[in-house]
Amino acid sequence: MNWGLILNILIRLSIFYFLGEVLLFPDDPRFAGKAIPIRNIVIVISLSLLFPFYYFIRKKWKHYPFWMDNLYLSIFWLDMAGNSFNLYDPYFYFDLIPHFHGTAAIASVFLGAFSMSFWGGVGLANIIHMLLEAQEYYTDVFLGTHNVRGLFDTVNDLMVGLLGTVIYGLIYLYFKRWRKV
């Protein structure tokens, strides 16, 4: 039984559920004022299809890398679940968990699935995270959303993302070396 495939299907189904929930109830206090419907549509229509694109269209891998895809999808799943279960508003520092894991997971995906160097994967993951933080800030400023609680929020998010990429990256390197022994 391919547990990676089963988990992949479950993650994708729950991501579709989270999308449906936010589209059906966009004014729900869990979602209101955060531009979540648009963000979730972008995730489901484009970003969640990265691995299928590279496997089926670009023929990057000999076998589909379900566990790397699951790690990648967990970035979106964690953020969407946090909104669905209303974890961001009542738990002030909950957002540090998705920022830590999300940035670290994408660095691990760059290292594992896309064979980037340690510093290349960590650096690119943090650049992407910095752009996400800028998007959150500027959509608050120019579009009136409320995703950022202040400068400390952005700085904390960036710091835990950096910490996460180094920790996950070192764990990846350790297991990569261990598998070769």
Map the chain to HEC letters: CCHHHHHHHHHHHHHHHHHHHHHHCCCCCCCCCCCHHHHHHHHHHCHHHHHHHHHHHCCCCCCCCHHHHHHHHHHHHHHHHHHHCCCCCCCCCCCHHHHHHHHHHHHHHHHHCCCCCHHHHHHHHHHHHHHHHHHHHHHHHHHCCCCCCCHHHHHHHHHHHHHHHHHHHHHHHHHHHHHHC
Percentage of the chain exceeding pLDDT 90 = 82
| 86 φ/ψ angles, rounded to the nearest 5 degrees | 55, 50
Two tokens, residue 135: 């998007």
* Range of the structural domain that residue 75 is part of: 3-180
Per-residue pLDDT of 48-96, as tens digits, reads 999 999 999 999 999 999 999 999 999 999 999 999 999 998 999 999 9
C-alpha distances in angstroms, 110 versus 35, 64, 116, 121?
28, 15, 6, 5
CA 61, CA 88: separation in Å to the nearest integer? Answer: 37
pLDDT of 181 reads 47
Number of domains composing the chain: 1
Question: Is the pTM above the cut of 0.85?
Answer: yes
Is 117 buried (19+), middle (13-18) or exposed (0-12) by CB count in 10 A? exposed
Q: How confident is the model at residue 116 (pLDDT cuts 50, 70, 90)?
A: very high
Percentage of the chain exceeding pLDDT 70 = 99
pLDDT of 178 reads 82
pLDDT of 179 reads 75
| Mean of all residue pLDDT scores within the chain | 94
